[in-house]
Amino acid sequence: MFLIGGICWLLFALGFAVLLVRYVVQGAGLQFSGWMFWSGSIVIGLVHVIALAIASSICFAVGAGLWTRGFAPSEKGQENAEAEE
């Protein structure tokens, strides 16, 4: 179950990263200003870029943790093996 949860979180991180790249390629906030630059649109774009980067990083950290936890042996399995010996 940890493997499936980890893969889902890693896919969320990938989705946020794709959204971030597309947002930056399309101008990252400049679409709010129209034909001229406005300092507010640059700040809005910067806030969006930082928020998407943080969201992607958090999703990646949670996904990597769950995914690696899925490969670790459970403690109950070790206790049962020690009890049988």
Residue at 15 is within a domain: yes
Q: Please give the model's pTM, rounded to 2 decimal places.
A: 0.73
Candidates 19, 14, 8; CA nearest to 57 is 14
13 CB burial (10 A radius; 0-12, 13-18, 19+): buried
Look at the chain and report how many structural domains it folds into: 1
How far apart are the C-alpha atoms of 85 and 69, rounded to whole Å?
26
Is residue 57 helix, strand or coil?
Answer: helix
How far apart are the C-alpha atoms of 33 and 45, rounded to whole Å?
11
Residue at 31 is within a domain: yes
pLDDT digits (tens, 9 = 90+) for 12-65: 999 999 999 998 888 776 665 566 666 777 788 888 899 999 999 999 999 999
Residue at 84 is within a domain: no
Residue at 70 is within a domain: yes
Q: Which domain holds residue 51?
A: 2-74
Residue at 8 is within a domain: yes
Residue at 40 is within a domain: yes
